[in-house]
Structure 1
Amino acid sequence: MVEAGNRTAGSQFFLLGLTDDPALQPLLFGLFLCIYLVTVLGNLLIILAVCSDAHLHTPMYFFLGGLSFVDICFSTTTVPKMLTNLRAGDRGITYAGCLTQACVVLVFAGLENCLLAVMAYDRYVAICQPLRYTVVMSPRLCVLLVLLSLCASLLNALLLSLPALRLAFCTHLEIPLFFCELAQVIRLACSDTFLNHLLVYVAACGFGGVPFAGILFSYVRIVSSVLKMPSAKGRHKAFSTCGAHLSVVSLFYGTGLGAYVGSALSSSSRQSAAASAMYSVVPQIMNPFIYSLRNADMKAALSAVMRRSLQTWVAQNQSRSQKA
């Protein structure tokens, strides 16, 4: 029997993607290129607005800026490789590239999961303990929560990815997605995968379940506190501050659960690829729109950023024309 190292050294995986039809490849390339550009631009505008507007220098918007950065990184991990494959007509990805991509996807998916829980805790403190908010959510604690989220995500990704290095792969290394997902990689192994599957289930229940439980706990306490408010205006204001976050949470977990159920129930590789696109592309492009449309402060900050950018562009053009 050939050792795992020899088997994997020259292995190449093939990302089947969304379709085999050559006529649809240019259409998919244009569609996902637009999605990627809008995702990067939208999230960059959120980051610029948070950094440039002093009114947004609060824990809530600090975490939102972090979430936008993670969304950019998540999309950059998956979509450019897909665009390259569509453009070149080559679906191959090296063994090292595939495992690296799977690991990085786990890092940013886990980090987004943790940040959503941290943002729920921030809303809980703001609504349930408003007088202590500035004391509890200090800048030091905010930075510490982000660093702990990053460390937990890195540890989870490494604990899941490193055992995959010992796996041996034989033939038919086809992944029915447009990026490498660790669960799909494990399915292709021809060696014992019991430990790998066990780690995936433990991580899904533990690392995935704990932040989600934290979000549920935070919102149970929030709803309980808001319902006790005597003023209807106060209740509406409290709920409105949570509306955008709840929408983002629902989108993130809804698309993730839909992808998992879809891949489990469907035997079609194309349906699995479409389901994976939902959770790896849709939340990242929708988050900026959700926060900018549902938050008056963010809309004002974004308008100011775009107005200053336009003024700078006009001034530069006028300067060039005068020199000419």
Structure 2
Amino acid sequence: MSSPYSLIRFLFFIMLIGVLVGGSFFYQNNKAEQKEVESERILPKEEVKKHNSFFVDPSVVELIVSQAPNCLSDEVEPKLIKGGIANHHLLASELVSGFFCRVASRETKRVIVLAPNHFGLGGGWVIGGANNWSIGEQELFSDKEGMEKLSSSGVAIADDGIFTKEHGIGNLMPAVKHFFPEAKVVTLVIKEKIPTDRQEKLISALKEFSDDQTMIIASLDFSHDLSLEEANAKDEQTLPILSGLDYGKISELNQSSEASNVDSPATLNIFLRVMADLGATDFELLGRGNSALISGQLEARQTTSYFTAVYSLKK
């Protein structure tokens, strides 16, 4: 029969093993969580000298350009077009090229791109980037003066770190560079729950920026995570809002996570408000599509739909 001391030593040994195993598990789990947090950390400005576009594959860039040849040699009253909506889901690359071909201009000196803050990163409601963009061997220059004006007036904060992940901006930068060869870019991402007063400040600033040499682009995809039939029904609700600049009805759309009409109602509202206030009410639908139709997967349960359009001053 074992002595009481032997039993105590045995129990102590079991407890020690438990502590060591549990501690090791906690350390590994905590280390993994810390690594995940670090991967989401916004890079300090000094670490980010230049952005890389997500859309740098030469074959994809060539595809976009080849789909829209000679656009710059045939400009059609570019000063009348004040802005437009382009998709950032590059499965629909033909829609991207068609949009940019329609608005292409050597006369444009500033392009402002508005996009959803898809991941909610950064410490401001509106966040802009001041760094230039690397696009293969080319460079797209940021409008640093414009960004400084937005920052100093409290409209936006500059935080280049978040743009390392923001596809709503990065996916369109090569097209901006190619179709607006003389332009600098202002990139702004907008958090979805932006308060009304902050929206008003941004709208006022965008109207002030707008002139004959400025193009405002809303980078938006539309219905998400629905079947083709369901997405088409949502798009039929959305199209009259786009064509009529009926921004007051955006809030009436069903924006549940399972049935969204647009990936950023706030961005759409701000853009349509600016177009309406500028008098750019002449709506031209350029393209419409759905990922199911493009991919041929008609039975897909989760699709994304697209609209591309321009808004012009009345002739």
Common fold: TM-score over 0.5: no
Larger-Rg structure: 2
TM range (shorter): under 0.3
Greater helix proportion:
1
Greater strand proportion:
2
Q: Which of 1 and 2 has higher RCO (CA within 8 Å, sep 6+)?
A: 1
TM-score, structure 2 as length reference:
0.28
